[in-house]
Chains A and B, each alone.
Chain A
Amino acid sequence: MIGAGLAPEQGPPFTAPLRFFLTAPWFLVAAGLLAAFDPGWTEGPLSPTALALTHLLTLGFLGMVMLGALTQMLPVLAGAPMPGIRPVATIGHASLTLGTPLLAWGLWRGEPAALLHGAGLLWLGLAPLLISAGLALADARRLDSVHAMRVAFVALLATLALGLGLAGWLADALPAGWRPDDPFIWLRAHALAGLAGWVAILVVGVAWQVVPMLQVTPAYPAWATRPLLVVLTSAVGVALLAPAPWRVVGEIALALGLAAFALVTLDLQRRRKRKLASPTLDLWRLGMLGLIGAVALFALPLPGEPARLAGGVLFLVGFAASVVIGMVDKIVPFLAWFHLRAGPGTSAGALPGMKDFLSDAAARGQARLHLVALVCLVAAPFAPALAVPGGLLLAAAGAVAGWNLARAARLYARHRR
Protein backbone atom coordinates (compact mmCIF):
# COMPACT_ATOMS: atom_id res chain seq x y z
CA MET A 1 0.00 0.00 0.00
CA ILE A 2 1.46 3.30 -1.06
CA GLY A 3 2.40 5.55 1.78
CA ALA A 4 2.30 2.97 4.55
CA GLY A 5 4.86 3.85 7.20
CA LEU A 6 5.56 7.34 5.98
CA ALA A 7 2.37 9.12 6.94
CA PRO A 8 2.99 11.29 9.99
CA GLU A 9 0.27 9.73 12.10
CA GLN A 10 1.80 6.28 11.72
CA GLY A 11 4.74 6.82 14.04
CA PRO A 12 3.56 5.84 17.54
CA PRO A 13 2.83 8.49 20.17
CA PHE A 14 5.98 9.21 22.22
CA THR A 15 4.43 7.70 25.33
CA ALA A 16 4.26 4.23 23.69
CA PRO A 17 8.03 3.56 23.61
CA LEU A 18 8.93 6.07 26.35
CA ARG A 19 7.11 4.29 29.18
CA PHE A 20 9.19 1.17 28.48
CA PHE A 21 12.47 3.11 28.34
CA LEU A 22 11.79 5.00 31.58
CA THR A 23 10.86 1.87 33.55
CA ALA A 24 13.60 -0.50 32.33
CA PRO A 25 16.61 0.96 34.22
CA TRP A 26 14.86 0.42 37.56
CA PHE A 27 14.98 -3.31 36.87
CA LEU A 28 18.76 -2.97 36.63
CA VAL A 29 18.55 -1.37 40.08
CA ALA A 30 16.44 -4.25 41.37
CA ALA A 31 18.83 -6.83 39.86
CA GLY A 32 21.85 -5.04 41.32
CA LEU A 33 20.33 -4.86 44.80
CA LEU A 34 19.36 -8.53 44.72
CA ALA A 35 22.86 -9.51 43.48
CA ALA A 36 24.39 -7.55 46.38
CA PHE A 37 22.04 -8.66 49.16
CA ASP A 38 21.96 -12.33 48.23
CA PRO A 39 25.36 -13.34 46.81
CA GLY A 40 24.04 -16.91 46.62
CA TRP A 41 23.77 -16.44 42.84
CA THR A 42 27.52 -16.99 42.58
CA GLU A 43 26.95 -20.68 43.38
CA GLY A 44 25.68 -21.41 39.89
CA PRO A 45 23.36 -20.32 37.07
CA LEU A 46 20.52 -22.50 38.36
CA SER A 47 20.59 -21.23 41.94
CA PRO A 48 17.30 -19.56 42.89
CA THR A 49 18.96 -16.13 43.13
CA ALA A 50 20.64 -16.52 39.73
CA LEU A 51 17.30 -17.49 38.16
CA ALA A 52 15.60 -14.47 39.72
CA LEU A 53 18.42 -12.16 38.59
CA THR A 54 18.32 -13.55 35.06
CA HIS A 55 14.62 -12.76 34.76
CA LEU A 56 14.96 -9.27 36.24
CA LEU A 57 17.61 -8.60 33.59
CA THR A 58 16.03 -10.36 30.60
CA LEU A 59 12.37 -9.49 31.08
CA GLY A 60 12.62 -6.39 33.24
CA PHE A 61 15.46 -4.63 31.51
CA LEU A 62 16.24 -6.13 28.08
CA GLY A 63 12.72 -7.27 27.19
CA MET A 64 11.26 -3.98 28.41
CA VAL A 65 13.55 -1.88 26.20
CA MET A 66 13.41 -4.20 23.21
CA LEU A 67 9.62 -4.38 23.13
CA GLY A 68 9.42 -0.62 23.60
CA ALA A 69 11.86 -0.09 20.75
CA LEU A 70 9.82 -2.38 18.48
CA THR A 71 6.82 -0.08 18.84
CA GLN A 72 8.98 2.68 17.31
CA MET A 73 11.08 0.70 14.84
CA LEU A 74 8.36 -1.33 13.16
CA PRO A 75 6.40 1.66 11.88
CA VAL A 76 9.31 4.00 11.24
CA LEU A 77 11.98 1.73 9.77
CA ALA A 78 9.93 -1.16 8.44
CA GLY A 79 6.81 0.68 7.30
CA ALA A 80 4.62 -1.48 9.53
CA PRO A 81 2.63 0.32 12.24
CA MET A 82 1.46 -1.86 15.11
CA PRO A 83 -2.34 -2.03 15.31
CA GLY A 84 -3.88 -0.65 18.50
CA ILE A 85 -0.54 0.67 19.66
CA ARG A 86 -1.81 2.80 22.57
CA PRO A 87 -3.71 0.12 24.50
CA VAL A 88 -1.35 -2.76 23.67
CA ALA A 89 1.69 -0.74 24.77
CA THR A 90 -0.05 0.34 27.99
CA ILE A 91 -1.16 -3.19 28.87
CA GLY A 92 2.12 -4.81 27.81
CA HIS A 93 4.15 -2.33 29.84
CA ALA A 94 1.97 -2.81 32.91
CA SER A 95 2.23 -6.59 32.73
CA LEU A 96 6.04 -6.50 32.40
CA THR A 97 6.28 -4.02 35.27
CA LEU A 98 4.09 -6.10 37.59
CA GLY A 99 4.64 -9.64 36.31
CA THR A 100 8.45 -9.58 36.23
CA PRO A 101 9.00 -8.84 39.96
CA LEU A 102 6.34 -11.40 40.85
CA LEU A 103 8.02 -14.06 38.70
CA ALA A 104 11.48 -13.16 40.05
CA TRP A 105 10.18 -13.30 43.64
CA GLY A 106 8.65 -16.71 42.96
CA LEU A 107 11.93 -18.03 41.54
CA TRP A 108 14.00 -16.54 44.36
CA ARG A 109 11.83 -17.60 47.28
CA GLY A 110 10.51 -20.79 45.68
CA GLU A 111 6.92 -19.62 46.00
CA PRO A 112 4.63 -21.40 43.54
CA ALA A 113 1.82 -18.84 43.79
CA ALA A 114 4.07 -15.89 42.91
CA LEU A 115 5.67 -17.88 40.11
CA LEU A 116 2.38 -18.84 38.52
CA HIS A 117 0.76 -15.43 38.95
CA GLY A 118 3.85 -13.73 37.55
CA ALA A 119 4.02 -16.02 34.51
CA GLY A 120 0.27 -15.79 33.95
CA LEU A 121 0.27 -12.00 34.23
CA LEU A 122 3.12 -11.75 31.74
CA TRP A 123 1.36 -14.00 29.26
CA LEU A 124 -2.02 -12.28 29.52
CA GLY A 125 -0.56 -8.79 29.40
CA LEU A 126 1.98 -9.38 26.65
CA ALA A 127 -0.42 -11.31 24.39
CA PRO A 128 -2.05 -8.21 22.81
CA LEU A 129 1.37 -6.58 22.28
CA LEU A 130 2.75 -9.76 20.73
CA ILE A 131 -0.27 -10.18 18.46
CA SER A 132 0.02 -6.57 17.36
CA ALA A 133 3.78 -6.89 16.72
CA GLY A 134 3.20 -10.18 14.88
CA LEU A 135 0.63 -8.57 12.58
CA ALA A 136 2.98 -5.66 11.88
CA LEU A 137 5.91 -8.00 11.20
CA ALA A 138 3.83 -10.05 8.78
CA ASP A 139 3.03 -6.87 6.89
CA ALA A 140 6.49 -5.27 7.06
CA ARG A 141 8.89 -4.53 4.22
CA ARG A 142 11.20 -7.36 3.18
CA LEU A 143 14.37 -5.91 4.65
CA ASP A 144 17.20 -7.90 6.19
CA SER A 145 16.54 -6.27 9.55
CA VAL A 146 12.88 -7.21 9.36
CA HIS A 147 13.81 -10.83 8.65
CA ALA A 148 16.02 -10.79 11.74
CA MET A 149 13.17 -9.30 13.77
CA ARG A 150 10.86 -12.06 12.54
CA VAL A 151 13.29 -14.78 13.59
CA ALA A 152 13.77 -13.08 16.96
CA PHE A 153 10.02 -12.74 17.39
CA VAL A 154 9.39 -16.46 16.78
CA ALA A 155 12.19 -17.25 19.24
CA LEU A 156 10.58 -14.93 21.79
CA LEU A 157 7.26 -16.75 21.46
CA ALA A 158 9.05 -20.10 21.96
CA THR A 159 10.91 -18.70 24.98
CA LEU A 160 7.72 -17.44 26.60
CA ALA A 161 5.85 -20.69 25.91
CA LEU A 162 8.67 -22.78 27.41
CA GLY A 163 8.90 -20.33 30.30
CA LEU A 164 5.22 -20.78 31.09
CA GLY A 165 5.70 -24.54 30.95
CA LEU A 166 8.70 -24.37 33.26
CA ALA A 167 6.85 -22.15 35.72
CA GLY A 168 4.04 -24.72 35.71
CA TRP A 169 6.52 -27.52 36.30
CA LEU A 170 8.32 -25.70 39.11
CA ALA A 171 5.01 -24.91 40.79
CA ASP A 172 3.89 -28.49 40.25
CA ALA A 173 0.81 -27.20 38.47
CA LEU A 174 1.06 -29.01 35.14
CA PRO A 175 -1.62 -31.59 34.24
CA ALA A 176 -0.34 -35.16 34.31
CA GLY A 177 0.15 -35.64 30.58
CA TRP A 178 2.06 -32.35 30.19
CA ARG A 179 4.91 -32.94 32.59
CA PRO A 180 8.29 -33.17 30.89
CA ASP A 181 10.31 -36.38 31.30
CA ASP A 182 13.40 -34.26 31.61
CA PRO A 183 12.70 -30.62 32.49
CA PHE A 184 16.30 -29.71 31.69
CA ILE A 185 15.50 -30.18 28.00
CA TRP A 186 12.85 -27.48 28.38
CA LEU A 187 15.23 -25.34 30.40
CA ARG A 188 18.00 -25.59 27.81
CA ALA A 189 15.59 -24.76 24.98
CA HIS A 190 14.13 -21.85 26.99
CA ALA A 191 17.57 -20.33 27.59
CA LEU A 192 18.84 -20.97 24.06
CA ALA A 193 15.76 -19.56 22.34
CA GLY A 194 15.67 -16.55 24.68
CA LEU A 195 19.34 -15.59 24.69
CA ALA A 196 20.47 -16.59 21.20
CA GLY A 197 17.21 -16.56 19.27
CA TRP A 198 15.60 -13.45 20.73
CA VAL A 199 18.29 -11.24 22.30
CA ALA A 200 21.30 -11.92 20.06
CA ILE A 201 19.52 -12.13 16.71
CA LEU A 202 17.49 -8.99 17.45
CA VAL A 203 20.67 -7.07 18.33
CA VAL A 204 22.30 -8.32 15.10
CA GLY A 205 19.35 -7.19 12.99
CA VAL A 206 19.14 -3.79 14.66
CA ALA A 207 22.93 -3.32 14.45
CA TRP A 208 22.76 -3.51 10.64
CA GLN A 209 20.74 -0.30 10.74
CA VAL A 210 22.09 1.60 13.71
CA VAL A 211 25.85 0.96 13.67
CA PRO A 212 26.34 2.68 10.29
CA MET A 213 23.78 5.29 11.35
CA LEU A 214 25.31 6.46 14.63
CA GLN A 215 29.00 6.59 13.80
CA VAL A 216 28.84 6.98 10.01
CA THR A 217 30.64 3.68 9.39
CA PRO A 218 30.67 1.70 6.15
CA ALA A 219 27.68 -0.64 5.78
CA TYR A 220 27.98 -4.22 7.01
CA PRO A 221 29.60 -6.43 4.35
CA ALA A 222 27.10 -8.59 2.45
CA TRP A 223 28.17 -11.85 4.13
CA ALA A 224 27.45 -10.36 7.55
CA THR A 225 23.82 -9.57 6.71
CA ARG A 226 21.40 -12.14 5.34
CA PRO A 227 23.88 -15.05 4.98
CA LEU A 228 24.90 -14.56 8.63
CA LEU A 229 21.25 -14.47 9.66
CA VAL A 230 20.68 -17.77 7.83
CA VAL A 231 23.68 -19.29 9.66
CA LEU A 232 22.56 -18.00 13.07
CA THR A 233 18.95 -19.07 12.56
CA SER A 234 19.92 -22.54 11.32
CA ALA A 235 22.42 -22.87 14.16
CA VAL A 236 19.78 -22.07 16.78
CA GLY A 237 17.39 -24.46 15.03
CA VAL A 238 19.91 -27.30 14.96
CA ALA A 239 21.01 -26.67 18.54
CA LEU A 240 17.37 -26.79 19.64
CA LEU A 241 15.77 -29.48 17.51
CA ALA A 242 18.40 -31.81 16.04
CA PRO A 243 19.15 -35.26 17.54
CA ALA A 244 21.55 -35.03 20.45
CA PRO A 245 24.89 -35.66 18.67
CA TRP A 246 24.17 -32.90 16.15
CA ARG A 247 23.24 -30.23 18.64
CA VAL A 248 26.86 -29.43 19.33
CA VAL A 249 27.30 -28.58 15.64
CA GLY A 250 24.58 -25.98 16.02
CA GLU A 251 26.17 -24.61 19.17
CA ILE A 252 29.57 -24.27 17.49
CA ALA A 253 28.06 -22.58 14.43
CA LEU A 254 26.17 -20.21 16.73
CA ALA A 255 29.32 -19.34 18.68
CA LEU A 256 31.33 -18.72 15.51
CA GLY A 257 28.53 -16.70 13.91
CA LEU A 258 28.10 -14.41 16.92
CA ALA A 259 31.86 -13.96 17.30
CA ALA A 260 32.09 -13.05 13.60
CA PHE A 261 29.30 -10.51 14.06
CA ALA A 262 31.08 -8.94 17.03
CA LEU A 263 34.40 -8.78 15.20
CA VAL A 264 32.96 -7.25 12.04
CA THR A 265 31.08 -4.67 14.13
CA LEU A 266 34.30 -3.69 15.95
CA ASP A 267 36.04 -3.43 12.59
CA LEU A 268 33.32 -1.17 11.15
CA GLN A 269 33.48 1.05 14.22
CA ARG A 270 37.24 1.27 13.89
CA ARG A 271 36.71 2.51 10.31
CA ARG A 272 34.03 5.05 11.32
CA LYS A 273 34.15 8.42 9.62
CA ARG A 274 32.79 10.27 12.65
CA LYS A 275 35.71 10.70 15.02
CA LEU A 276 33.83 12.32 17.90
CA ALA A 277 34.08 10.51 21.24
CA SER A 278 30.73 9.01 22.19
CA PRO A 279 29.55 7.06 25.24
CA THR A 280 27.22 5.07 22.97
CA LEU A 281 30.17 4.01 20.82
CA ASP A 282 32.07 2.96 23.96
CA LEU A 283 29.07 0.96 25.19
CA TRP A 284 28.71 -0.80 21.84
CA ARG A 285 32.38 -1.68 21.80
CA LEU A 286 32.11 -2.99 25.35
CA GLY A 287 29.07 -4.96 24.22
CA MET A 288 30.91 -6.59 21.34
CA LEU A 289 33.84 -7.51 23.60
CA GLY A 290 31.33 -8.90 26.10
CA LEU A 291 29.75 -11.01 23.36
CA ILE A 292 33.13 -12.40 22.29
CA GLY A 293 33.99 -13.15 25.92
CA ALA A 294 30.63 -14.83 26.56
CA VAL A 295 30.91 -16.96 23.44
CA ALA A 296 34.46 -17.98 24.40
CA LEU A 297 33.42 -18.96 27.94
CA PHE A 298 30.52 -21.05 26.64
CA ALA A 299 32.41 -22.63 23.73
CA LEU A 300 35.72 -23.44 25.40
CA PRO A 301 35.74 -26.62 27.48
CA LEU A 302 36.39 -24.77 30.74
CA PRO A 303 35.64 -26.77 33.87
CA GLY A 304 32.95 -25.97 36.36
CA GLU A 305 29.99 -23.72 37.00
CA PRO A 306 31.87 -20.45 37.65
CA ALA A 307 32.99 -20.15 34.01
CA ARG A 308 29.44 -20.73 32.75
CA LEU A 309 28.06 -18.23 35.22
CA ALA A 310 30.69 -15.65 34.23
CA GLY A 311 29.76 -16.32 30.60
CA GLY A 312 26.13 -15.59 31.44
CA VAL A 313 27.08 -12.32 33.16
CA LEU A 314 29.20 -11.33 30.16
CA PHE A 315 26.30 -12.06 27.81
CA LEU A 316 23.54 -10.30 29.77
CA VAL A 317 25.36 -7.40 31.42
CA GLY A 318 28.45 -7.14 29.22
CA PHE A 319 26.88 -7.62 25.80
CA ALA A 320 23.12 -7.11 25.83
CA ALA A 321 22.72 -4.49 28.58
CA SER A 322 25.62 -2.41 27.23
CA VAL A 323 24.28 -2.11 23.69
CA VAL A 324 20.75 -1.54 24.97
CA ILE A 325 21.84 1.33 27.25
CA GLY A 326 23.89 2.80 24.39
CA MET A 327 20.81 2.75 22.17
CA VAL A 328 18.37 4.17 24.71
CA ASP A 329 20.78 7.03 25.45
CA LYS A 330 20.35 8.05 21.80
CA ILE A 331 16.73 7.10 21.16
CA VAL A 332 15.14 8.97 24.07
CA PRO A 333 16.83 12.36 23.42
CA PHE A 334 16.16 12.07 19.70
CA LEU A 335 12.50 11.16 20.09
CA ALA A 336 12.07 13.92 22.67
CA TRP A 337 13.50 16.43 20.21
CA PHE A 338 11.57 14.95 17.29
CA HIS A 339 8.19 15.02 19.02
CA LEU A 340 8.75 18.54 20.35
CA ARG A 341 9.74 19.74 16.91
CA ALA A 342 6.70 18.14 15.31
CA GLY A 343 4.36 19.32 18.06
CA PRO A 344 2.05 22.28 17.71
CA GLY A 345 3.14 25.69 18.87
CA THR A 346 6.87 25.02 19.05
CA SER A 347 9.13 27.48 17.34
CA ALA A 348 12.43 26.73 15.65
CA GLY A 349 15.54 27.78 17.52
CA ALA A 350 13.87 27.73 20.93
CA LEU A 351 14.22 23.97 21.36
CA PRO A 352 16.86 22.04 23.26
CA GLY A 353 19.19 19.88 21.19
CA MET A 354 19.80 16.19 21.81
CA LYS A 355 22.67 16.81 24.18
CA ASP A 356 20.52 19.13 26.31
CA PHE A 357 18.20 16.19 26.92
CA LEU A 358 21.07 13.87 27.82
CA SER A 359 24.62 15.21 27.97
CA ASP A 360 27.68 13.19 27.01
CA ALA A 361 29.00 13.71 30.55
CA ALA A 362 25.87 12.17 32.08
CA ALA A 363 25.94 9.23 29.67
CA ARG A 364 29.66 8.72 30.21
CA GLY A 365 29.32 8.66 33.99
CA GLN A 366 26.64 6.01 33.66
CA ALA A 367 28.74 3.94 31.24
CA ARG A 368 31.73 3.99 33.60
CA LEU A 369 29.66 2.73 36.52
CA HIS A 370 28.28 0.03 34.25
CA LEU A 371 31.81 -1.05 33.24
CA VAL A 372 33.08 -1.29 36.82
CA ALA A 373 29.96 -3.19 37.86
CA LEU A 374 30.51 -5.61 34.98
CA VAL A 375 34.12 -6.29 35.97
CA CYS A 376 33.09 -7.09 39.57
CA LEU A 377 30.13 -9.24 38.53
CA VAL A 378 32.13 -11.29 36.00
CA ALA A 379 34.75 -11.99 38.64
CA ALA A 380 32.19 -12.73 41.39
CA PRO A 381 31.63 -16.42 40.49
CA PHE A 382 35.36 -16.95 41.17
CA ALA A 383 35.56 -14.51 44.09
CA PRO A 384 32.07 -14.31 45.66
CA ALA A 385 32.99 -11.34 47.88
CA LEU A 386 32.82 -9.21 44.72
CA ALA A 387 29.09 -9.91 44.39
CA VAL A 388 28.33 -7.14 46.91
CA PRO A 389 30.25 -4.26 45.28
CA GLY A 390 29.30 -5.57 41.83
CA GLY A 391 25.61 -5.62 42.68
CA LEU A 392 25.67 -2.19 44.32
CA LEU A 393 27.53 -0.71 41.36
CA LEU A 394 25.04 -2.24 38.93
CA ALA A 395 22.21 -0.74 40.98
CA ALA A 396 23.98 2.64 40.91
CA ALA A 397 24.51 2.40 37.14
CA GLY A 398 20.83 1.56 36.69
CA ALA A 399 19.76 4.44 38.93
CA VAL A 400 21.91 6.92 36.99
CA ALA A 401 20.50 5.59 33.70
CA GLY A 402 16.97 5.91 35.08
CA TRP A 403 17.69 9.42 36.36
CA ASN A 404 19.26 10.51 33.03
CA LEU A 405 16.25 9.31 31.05
CA ALA A 406 13.72 10.72 33.51
CA ARG A 407 15.47 14.09 33.31
CA ALA A 408 15.20 14.00 29.51
CA ALA A 409 11.49 13.18 29.78
CA ARG A 410 10.95 16.03 32.27
CA LEU A 411 12.65 18.51 29.94
CA TYR A 412 10.40 17.27 27.15
CA ALA A 413 7.30 17.70 29.31
CA ARG A 414 8.35 21.22 30.32
CA HIS A 415 8.70 22.35 26.71
CA ARG A 416 5.52 20.59 25.75
CA ARG A 417 3.44 22.82 28.00
Chain B
Amino acid sequence: MTETGDATITQFLADDHNRCDDLFAAAENAVSVRDWASAAAHFQAFLEAMRRHFAMEEDILFPAFETRAGSGGGPTFVMRGEHREMNGLLDEMGAALERREQDAYLNLSETLLMLMRQHNLKEENILYPMTDHALAGERPELLGAMRAR
Protein backbone atom coordinates (compact mmCIF):
# COMPACT_ATOMS: atom_id res chain seq x y z
CA MET B 1 0.00 0.00 0.00
CA THR B 2 2.93 2.30 -0.53
CA GLU B 3 1.50 3.38 -3.88
CA THR B 4 -0.67 6.42 -3.37
CA GLY B 5 -3.24 5.27 -5.93
CA ASP B 6 -4.30 2.21 -3.96
CA ALA B 7 -4.36 3.48 -0.41
CA THR B 8 -7.45 4.93 1.21
CA ILE B 9 -7.27 7.98 3.43
CA THR B 10 -8.68 5.81 6.21
CA GLN B 11 -5.90 3.25 5.89
CA PHE B 12 -3.12 5.81 5.55
CA LEU B 13 -4.11 7.88 8.57
CA ALA B 14 -5.06 4.85 10.70
CA ASP B 15 -1.55 3.50 10.08
CA ASP B 16 -0.17 6.85 11.21
CA HIS B 17 -2.31 6.63 14.37
CA ASN B 18 -0.70 3.27 15.11
CA ARG B 19 2.75 4.75 14.62
CA CYS B 20 1.93 7.54 17.09
CA ASP B 21 0.57 4.96 19.58
CA ASP B 22 3.81 2.99 19.41
CA LEU B 23 5.88 6.11 20.10
CA PHE B 24 3.52 7.07 22.95
CA ALA B 25 4.02 3.65 24.56
CA ALA B 26 7.80 3.79 24.15
CA ALA B 27 7.98 7.17 25.92
CA GLU B 28 5.64 6.08 28.71
CA ASN B 29 7.49 2.79 29.24
CA ALA B 30 10.76 4.72 29.62
CA VAL B 31 9.16 7.12 32.15
CA SER B 32 7.73 4.19 34.11
CA VAL B 33 11.27 2.85 34.72
CA ARG B 34 12.69 6.37 35.19
CA ASP B 35 14.96 6.09 32.18
CA TRP B 36 14.81 9.85 31.66
CA ALA B 37 17.26 10.11 28.76
CA SER B 38 15.43 7.52 26.73
CA ALA B 39 12.10 9.00 27.79
CA ALA B 40 13.11 12.42 26.49
CA ALA B 41 14.16 10.98 23.13
CA HIS B 42 11.01 8.89 22.73
CA PHE B 43 8.79 11.76 23.84
CA GLN B 44 10.40 14.07 21.30
CA ALA B 45 9.76 11.54 18.53
CA PHE B 46 6.17 11.10 19.74
CA LEU B 47 5.62 14.86 19.88
CA GLU B 48 6.91 15.30 16.33
CA ALA B 49 4.76 12.46 15.03
CA MET B 50 1.68 13.97 16.68
CA ARG B 51 2.37 17.46 15.35
CA ARG B 52 2.87 16.06 11.85
CA HIS B 53 -0.36 14.07 12.09
CA PHE B 54 -2.33 17.12 13.23
CA ALA B 55 -0.76 19.18 10.43
CA MET B 56 -1.67 16.59 7.77
CA GLU B 57 -5.27 16.76 8.94
CA GLU B 58 -5.67 20.44 9.72
CA ASP B 59 -3.70 21.84 6.79
CA ILE B 60 -4.54 19.33 4.05
CA LEU B 61 -7.36 16.88 4.70
CA PHE B 62 -9.83 18.97 6.69
CA PRO B 63 -9.77 22.03 4.38
CA ALA B 64 -10.29 19.78 1.34
CA PHE B 65 -13.18 18.04 3.08
CA GLU B 66 -14.72 21.29 4.29
CA THR B 67 -14.59 22.71 0.75
CA ARG B 68 -16.24 19.61 -0.68
CA ALA B 69 -18.77 18.88 2.05
CA GLY B 70 -19.39 22.45 3.14
CA SER B 71 -19.40 21.51 6.81
CA GLY B 72 -16.81 23.74 8.42
CA GLY B 73 -18.81 23.80 11.65
CA GLY B 74 -19.37 20.03 11.78
CA PRO B 75 -17.14 17.06 12.44
CA THR B 76 -13.83 18.72 11.59
CA PHE B 77 -14.61 21.48 14.09
CA VAL B 78 -14.87 18.91 16.87
CA MET B 79 -11.70 17.14 15.74
CA ARG B 80 -9.75 20.41 15.72
CA GLY B 81 -10.99 21.09 19.23
CA GLU B 82 -9.74 17.70 20.42
CA HIS B 83 -6.38 18.35 18.74
CA ARG B 84 -6.13 21.49 20.87
CA GLU B 85 -6.93 19.46 23.99
CA MET B 86 -4.23 16.95 23.08
CA ASN B 87 -1.70 19.69 22.41
CA GLY B 88 -2.44 21.10 25.87
CA LEU B 89 -1.78 17.71 27.46
CA LEU B 90 1.39 17.25 25.37
CA ASP B 91 2.70 20.60 26.65
CA GLU B 92 2.02 19.55 30.23
CA MET B 93 3.65 16.16 29.65
CA GLY B 94 6.76 17.84 28.23
CA ALA B 95 6.94 20.06 31.33
CA ALA B 96 6.52 17.06 33.67
CA LEU B 97 9.27 15.24 31.78
CA GLU B 98 11.61 18.19 32.13
CA ARG B 99 10.98 18.28 35.89
CA ARG B 100 11.32 14.45 35.98
CA GLU B 101 7.99 14.11 37.75
CA GLN B 102 7.04 10.51 37.10
CA ASP B 103 3.60 10.54 38.74
CA ALA B 104 2.59 13.75 37.02
CA TYR B 105 3.70 12.43 33.63
CA LEU B 106 1.89 9.10 34.05
CA ASN B 107 -1.29 10.85 35.19
CA LEU B 108 -1.20 13.04 32.09
CA SER B 109 -0.26 10.20 29.75
CA GLU B 110 -3.16 8.10 31.03
CA THR B 111 -5.50 10.99 30.25
CA LEU B 112 -3.92 11.65 26.86
CA LEU B 113 -4.17 7.98 25.88
CA MET B 114 -7.91 7.87 26.55
CA LEU B 115 -8.51 11.16 24.74
CA MET B 116 -6.29 10.15 21.84
CA ARG B 117 -7.72 6.67 21.37
CA GLN B 118 -11.37 7.68 21.53
CA HIS B 119 -10.53 10.54 19.14
CA ASN B 120 -8.83 8.05 16.79
CA LEU B 121 -11.81 5.70 16.92
CA LYS B 122 -14.16 8.53 15.94
CA GLU B 123 -11.88 9.48 13.06
CA GLU B 124 -11.29 5.91 11.86
CA ASN B 125 -14.92 4.82 12.27
CA ILE B 126 -16.68 7.94 11.08
CA LEU B 127 -14.69 10.88 9.72
CA TYR B 128 -12.05 9.18 7.53
CA PRO B 129 -14.59 6.97 5.72
CA MET B 130 -16.58 10.17 5.07
CA THR B 131 -13.50 11.86 3.56
CA ASP B 132 -12.71 8.77 1.47
CA HIS B 133 -16.22 8.96 0.10
CA ALA B 134 -16.38 12.71 -0.43
CA LEU B 135 -12.83 13.14 -1.77
CA ALA B 136 -12.51 9.99 -3.88
CA GLY B 137 -11.53 11.99 -6.99
CA GLU B 138 -8.64 13.89 -5.42
CA ARG B 139 -7.41 11.15 -3.11
CA PRO B 140 -4.00 10.50 -4.77
CA GLU B 141 -3.08 14.20 -4.62
CA LEU B 142 -4.20 14.50 -1.01
CA LEU B 143 -2.27 11.41 0.04
CA GLY B 144 0.79 12.70 -1.81
CA ALA B 145 0.54 16.07 -0.07
CA MET B 146 0.13 14.42 3.35
CA ARG B 147 3.11 12.12 2.76
CA ALA B 148 5.20 15.16 1.86
CA ARG B 149 4.58 16.77 5.26
Contacts and interface: CB of A to CB of B under 8 A. Distances in A.
Interface of A: 2-8, 76-79, 141, 143, 209, 213-214, 216, 273-276, 330, 334, 337-338, 341, 348-349, 353-356
A8 B74 CA distance: 9
Interface of B is mostly: helix
B110 A216 contact: no
Contacts, number: 93
A358 B61 CA distance: 37
Interface string B102-121: 01101110110111011001
A68 to B, nearest CB: 17
Given A274-B28, A353-B110, 14 more contacts: A2-B69, A5-B122, A7-B75, A77-B118, A77-B121, A77-B122, A213-B121, A216-B21, A216-B24, A274-B25, A276-B106, A337-B114, A349-B88, A353-B107
Contacts of B28: 274, 276
26 contacts: A3-B74, A6-B122, A6-B127, A7-B74, A8-B81, A77-B125, A141-B126, A209-B121, A213-B117, A216-B21, A216-B22, A273-B29, A276-B29, A334-B118, A338-B115, A341-B85, A348-B88, A348-B92, A349-B88, A353-B104, A353-B108, A353-B110, A354-B107, A354-B111, A355-B103, A355-B107
Contacts of B127: 6
A356 B121 contact: no
Contact of B25 (A141, A273, A337, A353): A273
B114 A334 contact: yes
Contact of A2 (B21, B71, B79, B118): B71
Contacts of A214: 113, 117
B32 interface: yes
B74 A141 contact: no
Contacts of A354: 107, 110-111, 114
Nearest to A79: B126
A276 B117 CA distance: 17
B42 to A, nearest CB: 12
Closest 7 CB pairs of A and B: A6-B75, A3-B74, A353-B107, A273-B25, A213-B117, A334-B114, A355-B107
Contacts of A330: 114
Nearest to A77: B121
Contacts of A337: 111, 114
B147 to A, nearest CB: 23
- Which of A275, A353, A356 has its CB near the most chain B CB atoms (within 10 A)? A353
B79 to A, nearest CB: 7
Contact of A6 (B24, B78, B88): B78
Contacts of A6: 74-75, 78-79, 122, 126-127
Contacts of A79: 125-126
A216 B23 CA distance: 11
B49 interface: no
A213 B25 CA distance: 12
